[in-house]
């Protein structure tokens, strides 16, 4: 990757100039239009950018504070803006050969002590979330094992995902596994504790989806065991 920064006053764009010859404010205009149309939340868009399919995501706050500030974040410096941190982490993970979307551009808009942010990534072809796949039917033993193996690749590299859930695990038509949404993620010293915490968060997500989808096959202890077995085997192999 070849990293560049373009500055337009309080608006700053970090981008991969191997993918974009130029990155201006117009690149992120659809995010603003979507935010206005939806009233804020959920403005993730599929767009064409420089002839390639991309995903444009606007950053929002969650929880109670999100009701007040929505998409406003406290300015503490350029290097720790949510968008730049995620873009740089994705760049590192992509260069390591891990299955993540390629980062294209990140933009923050600063106004005094607050900023707003957006992230543009290459769109993964023909993928669907694990949550959607579960809603369509049972997932095979092999695929559960592959999901565990994929997570183990990240864990062996010290990659901590802040929100590992069934929506951020993506599968393509060949059952290849990808992870999305590394907002607030980071690389940290490898430790069993945070790895197990990551898995526990995913298990809660799967149970929640199963409970809210009475017509779906459901999520069982056996399926979780298949995932964990794949994870443990891949971790052990990485440590040899």
Residues noted as catalytic = 163
| Sequence-separated (6 or more) residues with CB below 8 Å from residue 221 | none
Within 13 Å of residue 167, how many CA atoms lie on the same side as its CB?
Answer: 7
SS3 109: strand
Phi, psi dihedral angles at 198 (to 5 degrees): -60, -50
CB 50 within 8 A of CB 62: no
How far, in Å, are 62, 87, 88, 188 from residue 185 at the CA level?
16, 11, 11, 9
DSSP letters, 133-162, are: HHHHSPPPHHHHHHHHHHHHHHHHTTEEPT
CB 105 within 8 A of CB 120: yes
CB 227 within 8 A of CB 233: no
CB 120 within 8 A of CB 59: no
Tokens found for residue 178? 């990808």
Judging by DSSP bridges, how do beta strands 73-74 and 114-122 pair with one another? Answer: antiparallel
């Amino acid at each position: 990757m070849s990293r560049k920064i373009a500055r337009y006053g309080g608006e700053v764009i970090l981008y991969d100039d191997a993918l974009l010859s130029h990155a201006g404010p117009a690149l992120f205009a659809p995010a603003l239009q979507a935010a206005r149309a939806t009233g804020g939340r959920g403005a993730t868009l599929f767009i064409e950018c420089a002839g390639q399919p991309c995903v444009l995501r606007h950053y929002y706050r969650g929880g109670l504070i999100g009701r007040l500030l929505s998409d406003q974040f406290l300015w503490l410096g350029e290097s720790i803006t949510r968008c730049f941190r995620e873009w740089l982490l994705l760049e590192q993970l992509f260069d390591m050969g891990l299955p993540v979307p390629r980062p294209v551009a990140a933009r923050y808009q600063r106004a005094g002590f607050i900023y707003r942010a957006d992230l543009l990534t290459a769109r993964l072809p023909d993928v669907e979330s694990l949550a959607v796949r579960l809603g369509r039917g049972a997932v095979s033993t092999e695929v559960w094992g592959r999901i565990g193996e994929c997570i183990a690749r990240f864990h062996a590299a010290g990659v901590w995902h802040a929100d590992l859930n069934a929506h951020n695990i993506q599968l393509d038509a060949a059952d290849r596994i990808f992870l999305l949404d590394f907002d607030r993620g980071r690389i940290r010293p490898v430790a069993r504790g945070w790895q197990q915490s990551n898995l526990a968060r995913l298990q809660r997500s799967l149970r929640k989806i199963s409970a809210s989808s009475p017509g779906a096959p459901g999520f069982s202890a056996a399926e979780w065991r298949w995932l964990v077995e794949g994870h443990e085997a891949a971790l052990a192999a990485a440590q040899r």
